[in-house]
Amino acid sequence: MALTLEQKKAVVAEVAEVAKIAHSAVAAEYRGLTVGDMTELRSKARSEGVFLKVAKNTLVKRAVEGTDFECMADDLTGPLLFAFSMEDPGAAARLVEDFAKENDHLIARLVAVGGELHGATELERLAKLPTRDQAIAMLMGVMKAPIEKFVRTLAEPHAKLVRTVAAVRDSKEAA
């Protein structure tokens, strides 16, 4: 069933709105996926904060004009689904990569981050980016390390004195 002009405008507006605020985008070929697989993929996308859309490439080309994902427009060919990371730059890549491990029919074609187009080979690198919580935890660990070392350095003379006194006590008891 063909889309009416109003429906096409709605799709373009929806994708354009998402593309303006998204951190990254992944275009993947979905040829061969069953309806059940697509339903499972969509539910995972919702839970991970990823906007997933299957739309005509011409409509997506119009939607991404003037956004960071305009670089994808020239390479949109074939049946593609588009995954936009809304909260975390690596969320869409993780979703597509994890789902592609289980289903051979989902094949990543394009990856766009920060206005730059990358091939499917960069999907794994993007998927390995830490989430916001993981990045904050890593930062806190780095910030905490010098303070911990300083506290251990301050405590060491006292601990050495206690160990020395205990060794003297043990040697006198043994004698």
**Pairing relationship of beta strands 24-29 and 50-54 according to DSSP bridges:** unpaired
Residue whose entry in the numeric block shows the structure tokens 């939607």: 63
The pLDDT of residue 66: 85
Q: Is the pLDDT of residue 146 over 80?
A: yes
Work out the pLDDT band at 1, boundaries 50, 70, 90: low
The pLDDT of residue 123: 81
Q: Is the pLDDT of residue 62 over 70?
A: yes
Alpha-carbon gap, residue 1 to 3, rounded angstroms: 7
pTM summary value:
0.73
**Token digits for 88?**
């975390």
Alpha-carbon gap, residue 136 to 144, rounded angstroms: 12
Residue whose entry in the numeric block shows the structure tokens 């799709």: 11
